[in-house]
Chain A
């Protein structure tokens, strides 16, 4: 589907504990070396995708709105400077508020090559696709040699996790196995990120008791209260018909099953979308909109939106736990799909990467499956394509939203 693994990292003989990665100027290490094509309005979407079609190691993200949005720009800039990204081509139509030239400038400031153009300036679809493909080829050649290859170990990894299409097995097998893996990752010096505060409704005390410090406890309490107030005002809790059909009855029940993915280590604090965890350990990602006069933005309108937030936090690899089954993938960071439902795993085996169900049937312990998951993640980090990568899934979703982020600059609008 337009990509192969010729530009993937090479595995070392001791593949399961150490592999080679690309060192970026900010010191972070990348497990892929991608050219990212970014479009700045829906009108440029088709051209951007045509540029990337059949190009190796080239992926697409973009923002549909013509009027710009600080949140969306921050999100795109975090993705553009993700450790797995080596270069960026930004493509606009020419009328829109969001400026491809500004995006390219910020990317160049990060020590990566970047190009941009407006479709109107180049004279339309065909000329833009041709020019775009030439620029992608040039950028790809550039980044093959630009970044030094260095050793990477599990302690360098940032891994994000969310769940979707949950059923009664998610809280019993899928999420607990991820939780045990997160414990191992944190113990190895790595960074684990979980999200979906709206799926922690009913768990205020449980979360509070996991805080690593009084500051973290206050941040968790504040994030909880905001999420609860949000759910009350929109009258929407994070449950869906598939959850109920799968045996989950209430948001509290789903919450506790979802929270199991956080494992047992102390929670260091709360980050917002497009922020990076300031130090290793376990972190909660808050993607719930902050109060704003226009009230726009649902918290996670679909699974892909949440995955984008985890990638923007710097996750090298992202995990998606499902009970009912899912076929999504992701750009920038490979997605690994996990289920605790043996029937789902067998029925959708071409899409599901990892089966956590043996823990339900006495065939393996949670610890054993967590070790196996670590090996799966290290294999993907060292260059093996995950199933969504192989199938060509690169879903993305960037929306209008508002978050107060005092720690961040206002992106392109500053």
Chain B
């Protein structure tokens, strides 16, 4: 693959070989291929939705209740089965410690359980 083609494609980094998600370092503006760097070696996954830089994409199927792995450690567990290429965030991943993380707005992260009155 030529350098110019490399630069066009959205890239994501798998930090640890045990990880089942990778972190995007470019925006994926629409569903399509994401080039995975690091981890077990370069390959592509097909992102199923647009995903912003800094967010995570699933590298493999993660069954409901199973740990989501990043940095080689569990960062929480899947609240529903996640398919390869899906965006992994507040709608399908919950902290094992912070019960409030399941109540946050998916796109803005703003709490939905605070009363302003």
Contacts and interface: CB of A to CB of B under 8 A. Distances in A.
A360 interface: yes
A244 B104 contact: yes
Interface in B32-87: 52-56, 70-71, 73-76
Nearest to B16: A256
A168 B54 contact: yes
A361 B25 contact: yes
Given A231-B97, A249-B93, A360-B25, A256 B73 contact: yes
Given A241-B111, A243-B109, A323-B54, A202 B96 contact: yes
Interface in A212-254: 228, 231-232, 235, 237, 239-253
Contacts of A252: 73-76, 95-97
Nearest to B38: A172
A247 B52 contact: yes
Interface in A253-272: 253, 256-257
B107 interface: yes
A412 interface: no
A202 B75 contact: yes
Nearest to A254: B75
A237 B75 CA distance: 14
Contacts, number: 110
A168 B51 CA distance: 12
A331 interface: no
A242 B25 contact: no
Nearest to B25: A360
A202 B97 contact: yes
A206 interface: yes
A203 interface: yes
A244 B90 contact: yes
A351 B80 CA distance: 41
A243 B55 CA distance: 10
Contact of A244 (B13, B23, B70, B109): B109
Contact of A245 (B95, B100, B109): B109
Nearest to A205: B73
Nearest to B99: A235
A172 B110 contact: no
A252 B100 CA distance: 13
B8 to A, nearest CB: 14
Contacts of A245: 107-109
B101 A239 contact: yes
Contact of B24 (A168, A237, A253, A257): A168
A274 interface: no
Contacts of A201: 97-98
A242 B110 CA distance: 8
Given A167-B54, A169-B25, A250 B109 contact: no
Contact of B71 (A171, A239, A241): A171
Q: Which residue, of A206, A231, A241, has the highest number of chain B Cβ atoms within 10 A? A: A241
B71 A256 contact: yes
Contacts of B94: 250
A247 B98 CA distance: 16
Contacts of B88: 249
A228 B97 CA distance: 9
A218 B89 CA distance: 35
Given A171-B71, A235-B100, A240-B109, A250 B25 contact: no
Contacts of A232: 97
Interface in A329-376: 341, 343, 360-361
A253 B75 contact: yes
Contacts of B74: 202, 252
B97 to A, nearest CB: 5
B101 A256 contact: no
Contacts of B75: 202, 249-250, 252-253, 256
Given A168-B53, A240-B109, A241-B108, A251 B70 contact: no
B51 to A, nearest CB: 9
A239 B70 contact: no
Contacts of B71: 171, 253, 256-257
Nearest to B109: A244
A322 to B, nearest CB: 13
B99 to A, nearest CB: 7
A203 B98 contact: no
A250 B77 CA distance: 10
Which residue among B13, B15, B25, B89 has the maximum number of chain A CB atoms within 10 Å of its CB?
A: B25
A336 to B, nearest CB: 22
Given A235-B100, A360-B13, 5 more contacts: A168-B56, A206-B73, A241-B111, A249-B76, A250-B93
6 contacts: A168-B23, A168-B53, A231-B97, A241-B105, A244-B90, A250-B97
Interface of B: 13, 15, 23-25, 52-56, 70-71, 73-76, 88-90, 93-101, 104-105, 107-111
